[in-house]
Each structure stands twice: as structure tokens, then as C-alpha cells.
Chains A and B, each alone.
Chain A
Amino acid sequence: MIRPHDSVIVHTLARVFTPIIQLFALYVLIHGHDSPGGGFQAGTLFAASVILPVIAFGIQGSLAVLERRAIILGAVGILLYAGIGLLPLILGGEFLNYGELPIPGMETSTRRHWGILGIETGVTLTVAATAVSIYYSLRERGEEEEK
């Protein structure tokens, strides 16, 4: 359990900034094609938008369960990445060759475009979940000493 912060300024700022950071993270992920951005930056911004309200408002309840859930989410991200890579292998192409994905009615370059978006989503999920779980691990060991 993490104790909430006792300053009103921190509470108000966390309330205002958390949705803004999440929206910006989603923007960076989706616009990774046309402007600087991509999976890693978006994942870290998502992690920041989770850690900020945790610092401000605290968590009631055990951190070990939340850590385990965060690590399971990270594994789902990698499975998404490897799954999108394995699908062309099963259908007769090569591993990670998005041109052979089974989406009907598109030419090869557009299939690659959607394949890139899919794996960037997997990377974002893994990076966000891992950053949050590392924060919980580092914090958990400290909080138990202060009781």
C-alpha cells in the first residue's frame, strides 16, 4: 500500500494532467508513421500517466498483486508482437513478413503499414507494463520498511 501525498497542489495537478498525458501517448503511437514517435515513446508516456496518479493518490491494497498483473500485461504485449510475426509464417511466407498477412483487399504496402501499427501496439503495451511494474517493485521494498 502506498500512502497518498498530502499536498492539494499535487492532487489537482495529477487530476488535470493524467488524461492529457494519456491522450498524448495515444497520439504519439498512432502518428508514429508520419512524424517522430512510435512504440517506445508512447509506452513510457502511458507508464507516466499511470505512475502520476499513484504518487498523488496512493494505492490501498497489496502491491504484489498489481505487480503480477502488470507483468502479465507485458507478456501479452510480446505475444501480440510475436503472433503478428508468426501469422505470415503459418500461411506460407517468412517470419515477420507483413506483406503476407491475411487481410483482404489491400495491396502489399498497406498490409505492411497495418502490420507495423500492430507490432508498435504490442511494444507500447510491454514497455508501459514493464515500467510500471519496475516502479512498483522499487517502491514495495521501501514501503514495508516504514511500517
Chain B
Amino acid sequence: MADILLYRPHFVAFIILFLLGMYIMVVCLNLVKKLIGMYIMQTSIILFFITLAVKEEGTIPILMPSALALPPEAYANPLPHVLMLTAIVVGVSTLGVSLAMVIALYRKYDTLEEDQILEKIQ
């Protein structure tokens, strides 16, 4: 298991970031802090997919002109890139709607802490 740390540090970093995001979302009571945790979780998953698409000796997935064509092993895998483009844009849309909800809650209850809001609702 020690070769994970030496040869694949990307997976270790992904696990640390994902668990950090989850910890912040569960433990912190401030609503904007929870959204920061959600953003860290989303970007860590994008890191994981990009790591799966890397090829050694591979270049970016923009094809050379057909006179100098290279075999498909010389380009990085473009399919996870496309999925992650969608993931980033959907993530920022979710963030926009969540921040709108946070502002509406603040206008009504004048605090951003989750337990104080729950008290004021009851």
C-alpha cells in the first residue's frame, strides 16, 4: 500500500479533499461554510476523473492536422473532460441557487447559523 503514496498521489489528495468537504458540511453550523465544503467536494471529484483520463507521453486532446496524424494513444482521453465540463457548470448553477436561498433566509431570520434558524422557526 505504500506505492499508492509514491506513484499515485492524486488518489490520496482526492480522498483528503473529499473527506474534508464532507466533514465541513456535517460539522459546521454556518450556512456559507457548508457551501464552501460542498464546493470543495465537487472539485475533488473532478480531480478524480481527470486523473483517470491522463496518459503517459500523451498530449492535449487537440488533433494535429491529418498530414501528421498520431495514434489515439498519444492523446489524453477526452471523454472524462467532456463530463467534467458539464459537472463544473452544473456545480456553479447549484451554488447560485443555494446562495439565493441563504440570502432569503438571512433577510427573514437575520442570522446565518443553522441552529438559531431552527429555533426561530419553532
Chain A residues at the B interface, C-beta cutoff of 8 Å: 34-36, 40, 127, 130, 134, 137-138, 141-142, 145
Contacts and interface: CB of A to CB of B under 8 A. Distances in A.
Identify whether the interface residues of B are mostly helix, strand, loop, or mixed. helix
B6 interface: no
A142 B103 contact: yes
9 contacts: A34-B62, A40-B85, A127-B89, A130-B93, A138-B99, A138-B100, A141-B103, A141-B104, A141-B107
A145 B93 CA distance: 25
Across the A-B interface, the 8 shortest Cβ-Cβ residue pairs: A134-B96, A40-B89, A141-B103, A137-B100, A138-B103, A141-B107, A138-B100, A40-B85
Nearest to B61: A36
Most buried by A among B85, B96, B99, B107: B96
A139 to B, nearest CB: 10
Nearest to B88: A40
Identify whether the interface residues of A are mostly helix, strand, loop, or mixed. helix
Contacts of B62: 34-36
Nearest to B103: A141
B99 A145 contact: no
Nearest to A41: B85
Contacts of B103: 138, 141-142
Interface in B91-122: 93, 96, 99-100, 103-104, 107
A130 B96 CA distance: 10
